[in-house]
């Protein structure tokens, strides 16, 4: 296995991470050029290459180009050599990096190694998150105070932002990409009700294959951009039998099912620049904002559609079984989804104020039935979200207006 030790050095599974081969000399025994040398500091200071230019390389490919077995060193990994991918940044397969003694043999630059490391590691170093935040703030020209995460089909929450600067996730260095329908994959920065805001039109879910720390990494980006308030929204199934499709549940607590299974966005070494090792989560959902939202709901004439309740996040992408739904209800859960909790944990860890709500897009069945129309599906989720986007937008804008009045 290839990995990185705490110094940022490339290491192989046998723990050998020095830059010499079995003869104690540098590189080239298999045609790949000199092994990479870099310091941990270097890994954190260089501009990152664009992912779009990456091309995969395998040992076979190297062999064809005269790589692994070529004494002349004409590897496609060696950009100075006679390799086939000279013009491109090559992402090597792990095997192609190892010589016959299982030692790293390649000519990746420190920047390339760092980009690969960020791509492959579960957690993001503080410095990388700082770079992403700087990238956004510099181009947006403002420091946002409120961060919004748009739930499935609720991307219109970002469409009401004025003087918007839009960043596609793909064009933000080291940002993951959205893969779910109803999550456009854009970051929108601008103003709403006079407040500087940034909104994620598209969030990252565990079931997309991202580790939780990666799913909620944008919350840390928000923090380093200057965000003080996180507004997290989601589409969810209503478990509380009093909830109807189209209702809004203001989250006042959560049950972290992924946490029960030993998974947390805060797993791994803790960086105290973000927050403490053991953060408390009681009072995670700002009571003042919940009360204000209830008042706003009354003035909007939708008080009977507004509830306060407990959300639970499961890993997805399957919707829940009847037995799971019954268990969740017994645990006091009112609405269920596949997101938000890891974002809230990350936001509370770095001391952001949190407001979150679920749009109830479907009623979860609690009895076995053959009726197909009682089964949850993503098309229905998005259709309901589209129908209720006006109310959700109004709630969010008016709450931001209240925050602005108080500041
Ligand atoms: O939580 P959001 O992103 O709103 O999306 C919800 O809708 C999708 C399922 O229809 C899942 O991703 C679930 O989490
Ligand atoms: O019923 C649901 N279950 C899980 N996630 C969801 N997202 C929308 N509806 C649901």
Q: What are phi and psi of 227, to 5 degrees?
A: -70, 135
Nearest CA to ligand 1 atom 9: 378
- Asked if residue 168 lies in contact with residue 369, where contact means CB atoms within 8 angstroms, the answer is no
* Angle at alpha carbon of residue 370, lines to 367 and 373, rounded to 5°: 90
Ligand 2 atom index nearest CA of 237:
1
Least confident of 99-113, 143-157, 251-265: 99-113
- Asked if residue 127 lies in contact with residue 210, where contact means CB atoms within 8 angstroms, the answer is no
> Exposed, middle or buried: residue 260 (CB in 10 Å: 0-12, 13-18, 19+)?
exposed
**Which own/partner contact pairs does 370-377 have at CB distance under 8 Å and 24+ positions apart?**
375/319, 376/237, 376/319
Q: What is the pLDDT of residue 57?
A: 53
126-405, which class in CATH? alpha beta
Which residue of 152, 233, 337, 358 sits with most ligand 2 atoms within 8 Å of its CB, as the best mutation to test the pocket? 337
Q: Of 70, 75, 339, 358, which is the active-site residue?
A: 339
Q: What is the pLDDT of residue 17?
A: 32
Active site residue 378: yes
pTM metric for this prediction: 0.77
Buried b (16+ CB within 10 A) or exposed e, 227-242: bebbbbbbbbbbbbee
ipTM: 0.99
Residues contacting ligand 1 via CB (< 6 Å): 151-152, 180, 203, 205, 234-235, 316, 337-339, 378, 381
Q: Give 348's contacts (C-beta < 8 A, 6+ positions apart).
A: 275, 279, 281, 284, 354
Q: What is the pLDDT of residue 115?
A: 74
**254 has a pLDDT exceeding 90:** yes
- Asked if residue 154 lies in contact with residue 392, where contact means CB atoms within 8 angstroms, the answer is yes
Q: What is the pLDDT of residue 255?
A: 98
What's the pLDDT band for 58 if we cut at 50, 70, 90?
A: low
Higher pLDDT among residues 155 and 104, named by residue: 155
Active site residue 207: yes
Domain boundaries, the chain: 2-120, 126-405
- Asked if residue 5 lies in contact with residue 11, where contact means CB atoms within 8 angstroms, the answer is yes
Mean pLDDT of 283-312: 98
Distance CA 316, CA 320 (A): 8
- Asked if residue 312 lies in contact with residue 234, where contact means CB atoms within 8 angstroms, the answer is no
Least confident of 80-94, 141-155, 240-254: 80-94
- Highest averaged pLDDT of the listed ranges 31-35, 111-115, 174-178, 192-196: 192-196
Q: What is the mean pLDDT of the chain?
A: 82
> Exposed, middle or buried: residue 126 (CB in 10 Å: 0-12, 13-18, 19+)?
middle
Active site residue 74: no
- Find the 340 Cα to ligand 1 centroid distance in Å: 9
Active site residue 17: no
**214 has a pLDDT exceeding 70:** yes
Q: What is the pLDDT of residue 25?
A: 32
- Asked if residue 36 lies in contact with residue 109, where contact means CB atoms within 8 angstroms, the answer is yes
Neighbouring CB atoms inside 10 A of 56's CB total: 11
Q: What percent of the chain has pLDDT over 90?
A: 64
314-329 confidence digits (pLDDT tens) = 999 999 999 999 999 9
Distance CA 314, CA 321 (A): 12
Whether the bond between 401 and the residue before it is cis, its omega within 30 degrees of 0, is: no
Nearest CA to ligand 2 atom 7: 236
- Find the 167 Cα to ligand 2 centroid distance in Å: 28
């Amino acid at each position: 296995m290839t990995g990185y030790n705490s110094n940022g050095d490339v290491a192989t599974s046998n723990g050998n991470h020095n830059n010499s081969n079995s003869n104690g000399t540098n590189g080239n025994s298999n045609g790949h050029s000199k092994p990479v040398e870099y310091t941990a500091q270097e890994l954190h200071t260089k501009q990152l290459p664009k992912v779009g230019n990456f091309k995969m390389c395998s040992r076979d490919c190297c062999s064809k180009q005269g790589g692994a077995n070529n004494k002349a060193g004409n590897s496609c990994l060696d950009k100075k050599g006679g390799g086939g991918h000279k013009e491109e940044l090559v992402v090597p397969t792990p095997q192609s990096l190892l010589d016959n003694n299982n030692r790293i043999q390649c000519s990746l630059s420190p920047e390339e190694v760092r980009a690969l490391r960020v791509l492959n590691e579960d957690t993001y170093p503080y410095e990388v998150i700082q770079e992403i935040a700087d990238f956004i703030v510099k181009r947006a020209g403002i420091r946002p105070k409120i961060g919004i995460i748009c739930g499935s089909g609720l991307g219109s929450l970002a469409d009401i932002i004025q003087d918007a600067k839009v960043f596609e996730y793909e064009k933000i260095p080291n940002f993951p990409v959205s893969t779910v329908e109803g999550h456009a994959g854009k970051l929108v920065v601008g103003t709403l009700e006079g407040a500087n805001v940034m909104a994620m039109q598209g969030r990252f879910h565990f079931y997309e294959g991202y580790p939780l720390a990666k799913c909620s990494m944008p919350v840390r980006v928000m923090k380093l951009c200057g965000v003080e308030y996180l507004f997290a929204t989601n589409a969810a199934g209503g478990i509380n039998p009093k909830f109807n499709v189209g209702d809004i549940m203001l989250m006042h607590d959560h049950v972290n099912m992924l946490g029960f299974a030993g998974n947390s966005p805060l797993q791994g070494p803790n960086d105290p620049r973000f927050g403490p090792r053991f953060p408390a989560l009681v009072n995670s959902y700002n009571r003042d904002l919940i009360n204000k939202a209830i008042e706003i709901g009354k003035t909007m004439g939708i008080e009977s559609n507004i509830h306060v309740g407990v959300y639970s996040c499961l890993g997805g992408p399957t919707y829940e079984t009847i037995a799971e739904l019954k268990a969740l209800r017994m645990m006091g859960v009112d609405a269920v989804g596949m997101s938000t909790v890891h974002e809230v944990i990350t936001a509370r860890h770095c001391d952001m104020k949190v407001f979150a709500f679920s749009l109830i897009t479907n009623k979860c069945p609690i009895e076995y039935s053959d009726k197909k129309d009682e089964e949850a599906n993503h098309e229905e989720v998005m259709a309901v979200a589209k129908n209720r986007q006006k109310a959700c937008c109004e709630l969010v804008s008016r709450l931001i207006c209240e925050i602005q009045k108080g500041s």
